[in-house]
Amino acid sequence: MSSHYDVLGVSAEATGEEIKKAYRKLARTLHPDVNPGDDASDRFKAVTHAYEVLSDPQKRRIYDTTGNENGTDNGSGGGGYSGQGFAFQDIFDTFFGAGGTSGPASRVRRGQDALISVRIELRDAVFGVNRKLEVDTAVTCPTCNGSCCREGSHPVRCDICGGSGQVQRAVRSILGQVMTAAPCGSCEGFGTVIKDPCNECSGQGRIRSRRSLTIKVPAGVATGTRIQLSGQGEAGPAGGPSGDLYVELRVNNDATYARDGDDLHATLHIPMTAAALGTELSLETFDGLQEIDVKAGTQSGEIITLRGLGVTHLRGYGRGDLMVHLQVETPAKLDAAQEDLLRQLAKLRGEQFTEGKLAASGGVFAKLRDRFGNL
């Protein structure tokens, strides 16, 4: 015999809400009025009985402990629809909708949240910035101030539902003919009708408009960071409160600097002679001009770190670093005089050339030998 969990198609660890959701889904399919037939009727009774047991915490505990399919200590209590712990309202909610007697709906509702994308420069991400935005959104109607009515008028009670916002109708169910409530088609469930709506907003209480606002972008933001502005989203219908505005930031790529976390990276090209002799270079950073000391004998790929000149930490104090990558440039073309000077330099350094070829002894080859000598 299948367990109640198998009948409902849920696991033994399912929550009460998951059990209710599974039951409602099956009940809509297997209900005799929807799916006539003995097999569907039997399955409907089975899922209803399973739900009767599993929806009651005490019965579910007993069922899990003893295996008693009725969820009772003494085995009494039948299946079907007569269990004390079974909520008949769940059946009504499944077919007729929950909250049928909750009264008229309110025209006043909260506005929707809005999301816009804003691009900023890398400098703005490093230090933060105040940005002025133009936003197209829904705002409270300035003519009726959200009342939805023309000046001097007001909503009147609906004649069809008498102000309840609902009308009663008979529906055939497993319990016979029952009365259920549905939203009034005349007033759309509000209980009142606007006979003389505002001309500007057509009785909505809000209009589309462009408005300006200034946001503070904190230092340290990155692409994908969202800033929440409470109450700056769309105004709600009928003067309802505004939703929230979310600003998603996109940081533009910079021509000089690349970002890695809160560190900045830049590549600085220097002549071969400057790398060999050493020099001092000026680099324009987000913090102004910085002097960089290039030591004599600098090799291509070496990094000079400028502490605290990176991006400000978003959640904390201090800043990242600026990493300057040195790229030594070798001249591609030499005139005769330059070539002669380089040959003299090579000779002075003991680098022997024979018909343009470097002799395979000493120098760089010795270094390679020492490096791989243990292999």
Annotated binding site: 141, 144, 158, 161, 184, 187, 198, 201
CB of 322 closer than 8 Å to CB of 286:
no
Tokens of 111: 């506005």
Task: Quote the CA–CA distance of 253 and 200 in Å, as a whole number.
Answer: 44
Beta-strand ranges (E) seen in 31-113 are: none
Tokens of 155: 């909503």
- Judged by phi (left if over 0) then psi (alpha if -120 to 50, else beta), residue 176 lies in left
3-state helix, strand, coil in the chain (%, to 5): 25, 30, 45
Annotated binding residues for Zn(2+), written as ranges, equal: 141, 144, 158, 161, 184, 187, 198, 201
Burial of 184 from C-beta contacts in 10 A (0-12 / 13-18 / 19+): buried
Place of tokens 């002075």: 348
CB of 103 closer than 8 Å to CB of 236:
no
Task: Quote the CA–CA distance of 327 and 265 in Å, as a whole number.
Answer: 13
Q: What is the DSSP letter of 298?
A: P
Ramachandran angles phi, psi of 271, nearest 5°: -65, 155
Q: Among residues 340, 171, 320, 141, which one has the least CA distance to residue 240?
A: 141
CA 54 from chain centre, in angstroms, equals 35
Task: Quote the CA–CA distance of 142 and 148 in Å, as a whole number.
Answer: 11
